[in-house]
Structure 1
Amino acid sequence: MNIKKVFRIAGKVILILFLIIVLFLLTTTIVYHIKLNKVEKQLKDAGYYNPVSVGDHSLNVYACGNENGRHTIVALAGLGDGEMFLGWRQMTAELEKDDRLIFIDRAGYGLSDDTKQEMTPEYVVEEYRTALQNAGIEAPYLLMGHSLGGLYATYWESKYPNEIEGIAYVDGSICYEIPEEEQVDGAVLMPVIEKLGLAPFVVRSDYGRFFDIMTEEQKEQAIYMMSKTIGSSVMKDELNKNDRCFDLVWKETTTTDIPKVYISASTAYHTKEDFINDGISAESLLNIWVAPEMKDAGEDAIYEEALRLMEQRRTEWAEPYYEKLGNCKVVELPGDHVIFLDKPDECSRIIKEFIDGLAN
């Protein structure tokens, strides 16, 4: 065959593939933004939207539960969790009977406005406080933080202990010292993926199995709120600052007697049987806990390595952090990091027992 003809055919094939990709991305972009607008309208019509100005943008503050309840519980989202006012509700249903729940989205999260501001712990906590004050929600607060929300809760308590009557950490981030030369930026391509309408595929892949606790409508709403959030400028900035924030909050943490409960989930496995009973295969631990190079080492070796790394994390990072927090009761509940979706009823029981203890 003539070499020029081969190149012409190859060029046409490449052009066709390129056009197919462009058409696919154009379709996903249009469909995504149409659905996102629909979901936002649904949530606003359902009363979830209550923007509160914090200056040049607004944070969404959704209040529910017992308005005249014993405590004001302020929920602080984990990284990318723009749907907490939907996804946390099975965990908080019992709490809402006796207490007031405030779901406050950070900038860029859920129904809040995005911002280009740097998301330092100090900035985030001041925005939280400003939003609550402008919404007429007075301290004291009982903070309930998941993942990165736990980091902000710790900083808040250290800076303004008189405003906080307790903290419930739902597998909160563990803060520890990270030398500057070891700090790594965590920026990713998620803003591009979100704008092209591909984020819902990522969310469904990572969290879809946990959304069964919601109705079909809520599932769709949760997926699109998370998709919108992970494409925000704020989340990109938070990822870039992760290591620096862990180090800063560790250094700024002040030991107090304020009561705390820490639900330890993702590092609460102690035996191979713990993993198996929770349906966690050795293969699923690769890339998350165990280096992928161990894939041929055998199931037992992978489980043992994961357990070793968890024990190392507990002893070197978690236990010193609990001690530095002060008056912190640790409750182990083996499960996924999004334990509020994985085991919401068990989380609810632990937090309710903690809150009931505050009243005594």
Structure 2
Amino acid sequence: MSGPYVTYWENKYPEEVSGVIFNNSISSANEEMPEEGLPKFMRDAAVTIGTFANNTGWTTVKNALFAEEYDEYGEYSKDALAFEKASVPNYGEVRNYNVNMRTAWDSIQANDIPKVYITNDYETLEDAREYLMFLYGEVDEELAQELFEESQSEEHKEHRKKISEYCKSLGNCEEVNIPASHEISDQKPEEFVKEIEKLIDRIK
């Protein structure tokens, strides 16, 4: 949910920002959350339960119980767990999602701050297979085909078009596609770092 906050900050306080990386972030291409009906009821219920879990300490207990999941980070496992504890979801963000989005998009004024927006679309069927192998350690061909077709659908192409319009409105924003998951820094760290280095060069 960082997209609206980053967008607002770099437009409101451009003198404090040197560069921006959007990793498939929420943008003006995304739809707002429903304001009525069952979807709103479910969201409000999740906010209430999540807030209760945070305030009563259950979230901290959950993190402690599943701490072994962070063993994969090796010597950084304690840091990873600490980061998770410090990143307890702020359910107020969910409740105010639409308002925050509108405020961010209304703040946009094109500027020269170097930016890169990284999308994670599957350009080939093999891209989808690589993602499933990364996530599950095996490939479900039916699911791979489904993911690939979804990324090639007219609806998704329209979404990409809106992302391009969003980037253009920001000013000095390059679009880059790295076929991967949203956890691109884990799945394809070298390609992700390469884009960071390119952005740093633009800042220099």
TM-score of the superposed pair, with normalisation by structure 1 = 0.43
* Whole-Å separation in 1 of the counterparts to 2:132 and 2:174: 27
2:111–2:171 CA contact under 8 A, matched in 1: yes
* Whole-Å separation in 1 of the counterparts to 2:196 and 2:49: 36
1:246 pairs, out of 96, 101, 105, with 101
Deviation digits for residues 145-189 of structure 1 (CA, Å, limit 9, x no counterpart): xx51x4322112211233333222233322347568648556263
The structure with more radius of gyration: 1
* Whole-Å separation in 2 of the counterparts to 1:200 and 1:310: 39
Alignment match, 1:334: 179
- Alpha-carbon distance change, 203 to 272 in structure 1, aligned in 2, over 3 angstroms: farther
Alignment match, 2:139: none
Matches within 5 A, 1:177-326: 182=35, 184=40, 185=43, 187=47, 189-193=49-53, 195-196=57-58, 197-199=61-63, 208=69, 212=72, 214-216=73-75, 218-230=76-88, 235-265=90-120, 268-279=121-132, 299=143, 302-303=146-147, 306-307=150-151, 308=153, 310-315=156-161, 317-326=162-171
Q: Counterpart amino acid of 1:272?
A: L
1:161 pairs, out of 14, 17, 24, with 14
Matches within 5 A, 1:42-191: 147-148=1-2, 150-176=3-29, 182=35, 184=40, 185=43, 187=47, 189-191=49-51
Where relative contact order (Cα < 8 A, 6+ residues apart) is larger, the structure is 2
Q: Counterpart amino acid of 2:181?
A: D
* Whole-Å separation in 2 of the counterparts to 1:201 and 1:306: 36
* Whole-Å separation in 2 of the counterparts to 1:299 and 1:181: 28
Tell me the SS of whatever aligns to 1:330: strand
* Displacement after TM superposition at 1:304 (Å): 5.1
* Whole-Å separation in 2 of the counterparts to 1:239 and 1:275: 30
Alignment match, 1:119: none
Q: Counterpart amino acid of 2:106?
A: K
Unaligned runs of 5+ in 1: 1-146, 284-297
1:354 pairs, out of 174, 199, 202, with 199
- Alpha-carbon distance change, 162 to 223 in structure 1, aligned in 2, over 3 angstroms: closer
2:8–2:103 CA contact under 8 A, matched in 1: no
* Whole-Å separation in 2 of the counterparts to 1:333 and 1:178: 23
* Whole-Å separation in 2 of the counterparts to 1:203 and 1:252: 40
1:260–1:329 CA contact under 8 A, matched in 2: yes
- Alpha-carbon distance change, 264 to 177 in structure 1, aligned in 2, over 3 angstroms: closer
Q: Percent identity?
A: 24
- Structure 1 or 2: larger strand share? 1
Matches within 5 A, 1:27-42: none
2:21–2:115 CA contact under 8 A, matched in 1: yes
1:178–1:247 CA contact under 8 A, matched in 2: no
* Whole-Å separation in 2 of the counterparts to 1:346 and 1:201: 34
- Structure 1 or 2: larger helix share? 2
2:123–2:179 CA contact under 8 A, matched in 1: no
Q: Counterpart amino acid of 1:355?
A: I
* Whole-Å separation in 2 of the counterparts to 1:222 and 1:161: 30
Tell me the SS of whatever aligns to 2:96: helix
1:263–1:333 CA contact under 8 A, matched in 2: yes
2:19–2:115 CA contact under 8 A, matched in 1: yes
1:167–1:261 CA contact under 8 A, matched in 2: yes
TM-score of the superposed pair, with normalisation by structure 2 = 0.71
Deviation digits for residues 294-351 of structure 1 (CA, Å, limit 9, x no counterpart): xxxx547633553225434322x31221121111111111222232333333222111
Equivalenced residue count is: 186
